[in-house]
Chain A
Amino acid sequence: MKYVDEFREPELISRAAKEIRKLADTNRHYRIMEVCGGHTHAIYRFGLKDLLPANVELIHGPGCPVCVLPMGRIDDGLSLAAQPDFIFAAFGDMMRVPGTHGSPLEYKARGVDVRIVYSPADALKLARKHPEKHVMFFAIGFETTAPSTALTLMRAKAEGLHNFSVFCNHVTIIPAIRAILDSPDMRLDGFVGPGHVSTVIGCRPYVWIAKNEGKPVVVSGFEPLDILQSIVMLLRQLRNGESKVENQYKRVVPWEGNLAALRAIAEVFELRPYFEWRGLGFISQSALKIRGRYAE
């Protein structure tokens, strides 16, 4: 845990905090949503709320793939895992997430073959190593993770590996933002856009939010200074009556995103007509499913 005086650039931090106070109209209440769970984590960890005036409120968004996964998906995945000669592989983040009859870790304790992997490619390695078993990778994540799952499936297909499959829970961030904007009781003034999702999708997919919905978006890095600077950029737009997409995280996020990653997603996945999000309900075209040619 770090405190404000331990920030790397306390001078810049306090300057950004001052700028926020200057830009925020005291007669107005600002509601800014940070979409990404990583930003939420950083905001808490660094106590950034304490640096903001009371009328600048941060609203936590839907961008944590573990939190938005409904229990039914975990139940379905784990019910498959209980078959004989079956390996259920998932990221460590999933291991303690409860299903109706227990978490993956509890299933493991009951003798189900549950493995932690750090990469979908490692689940594929398990399949190569255990040709007598079926390995299912329980895939979760937004557009940051989906391309890696896609490429892994492409490799499995190219190798003709038939004992590997993916239980796909990949979701996409834009429809979730749309659902939030459509919800009648959610009044927002702007968005701190996700950092690492944007390395894949770039900044263009947010343009409608600025153009059609009139809400500024600033794609942001994860350092305290990044997040404060992004809030400065949002408040500046709001003060000037502007609404555009800006990229605070240029050192990592290209405007166009990663085209090879987007191609891999398009090759392997198609949109689901709808998908359930924990806490948000069913959202149209908000998730990815595996195309027939990779689904067998």
Chain B
Amino acid sequence: MCLAIPAKIVEVDSQNAMQAVVEVVGVRRKVDLGLLQDQPPVVGDWVLIHVGFAMSKISEAAALDQMRTLMMLGEAAAAIEEVRGYGLGEGDVEHPDKGQNHEIRG
């Protein structure tokens, strides 16, 4: 939950401008853009995602920095697992155990 994950916007939903598909090291998932409605990101922009919501627009350099920080902290795997976990609607609702080894921090 405490991870801020850098991701690239690859698609904005044409029906609902508050939904976008992002990519994080090859993993694609839907995220919510509602918290960036004042300056909606477009395809190709980089954002920081937190619990499935894009929180801030960042530069590509800052995104790469952030990914490196996660890797240095040993949390890149947890970040990818979190991104994979977004979008329970896409068929994995019935496997709630997925991710139970998610690291508890603090």
Q: Which residues of A contact B (CB under 8 A)?
A: 1-2, 8, 37-38, 40-42, 45-46, 64-67, 91-93, 95-97, 105, 114-122, 125-126, 128-129, 140-141, 144-145, 147-148, 151, 155, 195-196, 199-200, 221-224, 251-254, 258-261, 264
Flag if A251 contacts B52 (CB, 8 Å). no
Would you give the shortest CB distance from A60 to chain B, in whole angstroms? Answer: 10
Please classify how large the interface on chain B is, using the bins under 10, 10 to 19, 20 to 34, 35 or more: 35 or more
A91 touches B96 (CB 8 A): no
B35 touches A148 (CB 8 A): yes
List, in ascending order, chain A residues with CB within 8 A of B51's CB.
91, 118-120, 141, 145, 148
User: Nearest Cβ distance between residue B52 and chain A, in whole angstroms?
Assistant: 3
**28 A–B contacts, CB within 8 A, in A order:** A40-B106, A92-B100, A92-B102, A95-B102, A96-B104, A116-B100, A117-B88, A118-B85, A118-B86, A120-B52, A121-B86, A122-B85, A144-B55, A145-B51, A147-B53, A151-B53, A199-B4, A199-B48, A199-B56, A223-B68, A223-B72, A224-B72, A251-B59, A251-B65, A252-B62, A258-B35, A260-B35, A261-B35
Contact B69 A261 (CB under 8 A): no
Q: How far is the CA of A179 from the CA of B77 in the complex (A)?
A: 36
Q: Tell yes or no: B44 within 8 A of A by CB.
A: no
Q: Of A41, A122, A261, which is within 8 A of B105 by CB?
A: A41
Task: Check A93 against B105 for contact (C-beta < 8 Å).
Answer: yes
- Min CB–CB distance A45 → chain B (angstroms): 6
| Chain A residues within 8 Å of B97, by CB | 116
Contacting pair A260 B106 (CB below 8 A): no
For the complex of A and B, 3 pairs with smallest distance between CB atoms: A119-B52, A92-B102, A64-B106
Known contacts being A91-B1, A116-B96, A151-B34, is A45 close to B73, with CB within 8 Å? yes
Take A45-B73, A129-B89 as given contacts and tell me if A93 and B2 are in contact as well, using a CB distance cutoff of 8 Å.
Answer: yes
Query: Taking the nearest CB of chain A, how far is it from the CB of B66, in angstroms?
Result: 8
Chain A residues within an 8 Å CB radius of B87: 122, 125
Q: Is the CB of A222 within 8 A of B69?
A: yes
Indicate if the CB atoms of B58 and A37 lie closer than 8 Å. Answer: no
Q: Given known contacts A119-B53, A120-B51, is B73 in contact with A264 (CB within 8 Å)?
A: no
On whether the beta carbons of A260 and B36 are closer than 8 Å, the reply is yes
A258-B55 CB under 8 A given contacts A45-B73, A116-B99, A145-B1: yes
Contact of A1 among B4, B74, B99, B104 (CB under 8 A): B74
Binary flags per residue of B34-78, CB closer than 8 Å to A gives 1, else 0? 111110000000001011110110110110011011001110000
For residue A87, which residue of chain B has the nearest CB?
A: B96
Q: Given the complex of chains A and B, what is the CA–CA distance between A144 and B93 in angstroms? A: 25
- For B61, what are the chain A residues with a Cβ–Cβ distance below 8 Å? 251
Cβ distance B44 to chain A, nearest Cβ, rounded Å: 18
Once the chains are docked, how many angstroms separate the CA of A45 from the CA of B100?
22
> Which residues of B78-95 have CB atoms within 8 Å of chain A's CB atoms?
82-83, 85-89, 93
Annotate B1-44 by CB proximity to A: 1 below 8 A, 0 otherwise. 11010000000000000000000000000001011111000000
Instruction: Report A187 CB to chain B, min CB distance, Å.
Output: 24
Instruction: Give the residues in chain B near A8, CB-CB below 8 Å.
Output: 68, 72
| Additional 9 contacts, C-beta under 8 A, given A115-B96, A258-B55 | A8-B72, A42-B69, A92-B104, A93-B1, A125-B87, A125-B88, A141-B51, A148-B50, A259-B38
* Minimum distance in angstroms from A155 CB to a CB of chain B: 8
